[in-house]
Amino acid sequence: MTDLNIRKTGRAGRITFARPKALNALSHRMALDLHAALDDWRDDPEVALVIIDAEGDRAFCAGGDIAAVYRAGLEGNHQVGRDFFRDEYLMNAAIADYPKPIVALMQGFVMGGGVGVGGHASHRIVGDTTQIAMPESGIGLIPDVGGTWLLARAPGRIGEFLAMTAGRMGPGDAIHAGFADSYLPEAEWPALIARLEETGDTALIYGATPPPASLATRDLSAFGKDGLEQIVAALEAAGDDEALKPIRRNSPLSMMAGLAMVRAARGDARMQDSLSREYRFTRRATEETDFMEGVRAQVIDKDRNPQWSADASDAHVRALLSPLGADELVWEE
CATH number of the domain enclosing 243: 3.90.226.10
H-assigned helices in 120-251:
147-152, 158-165, 171-177, 189-199, 228-238, 241-249
One digit per residue, the tens of pLDDT, for the chain of length 333 reads: 579 999 999 999 999 999 999 999 999 999 999 999 999 999 999 999 999 999 999 999 999 989 999 999 999 999 999 999 999 999 999 999 999 999 999 999 999 999 999 999 999 999 999 999 999 999 999 999 999 999 999 999 999 999 999 999 999 999 999 999 999 999 999 999 999 999 999 999 999 999 999 999 999 999 999 999 999 999 999 999 999 999 999 999 999 999 999 999 999 999 999 999 999 999 999 999 999 999 999 999 999 999 999 999 999 999 999 999 999 998 975
Q: Cα–Cα distance between 272 and 262 in angstroms, integer?
A: 14
Sheet holding 102-106, edge to edge: 4-9, 12-17, 49-54, 102-106, 123-126, 182-183
- Can you give the pLDDT at residue 1? 52
Q: Cα–Cα distance between 220 and 292 in angstroms, integer?
A: 31
- Can you give the pLDDT at residue 160? 98
- Can you give the pLDDT at residue 333? 59
166 falls within a domain:
yes
Q: Cα–Cα distance between 188 and 172 in angstroms, integer?
A: 18
Q: Cα–Cα distance between 243 and 304 in angstroms, integer?
A: 18
Give the Cα-Cα-Cα angle 39, 44, 47 (nearest 5 degrees): 100
- Can you give the pLDDT at residue 2? 75
Q: 285 and 141 in contact (C-beta within 8 Å)?
A: yes
Q: Cα–Cα distance between 243 and 256 in angstroms, integer?
A: 15
- Can you give the pLDDT at residue 332? 76
Q: Is 163 helix (H, G, I), strand (E, B) or coil?
A: helix
Q: Cα–Cα distance between 226 and 177 in angstroms, integer?
A: 22
> Which residue range forms the structural domain that includes residue 113?
4-327
333 falls within a domain:
no
293 falls within a domain:
yes
34 falls within a domain:
yes
- Name the nearest CA neighbour of 73 among 22, 15, 139, 156: 139
SS3 track for 56-104: CCCEEECCECCHHHHHHHHCCCCHHHHHHHHHHHHHHHHHHCCCCCEEE
The residues annotated as belonging to the active site are 64, 113, 136, 144
What does residue 169 show for φ and ψ, rounded to 5 degrees?
Answer: -115, 130
First to last CA, the chain: 30
119 falls within a domain:
yes
Give the length of the chain: 333
332 falls within a domain:
no
Q: How many CB atoms lie within 10 A of CB 81?
A: 24
Q: Cα–Cα distance between 279 and 116 in angstroms, integer?
A: 14
Q: Give the DSSP per-residue string, 210-240.
A: PPP-GGGTS--GGGGSSSHHHHHHHHHHHT-
Report the chain's C-alpha Rg in angstroms: 19
Domain total of the chain: 1
Helix (H) or strand (E) holding 15, with range, is strand 12-17
297 falls within a domain:
yes
270 falls within a domain:
yes
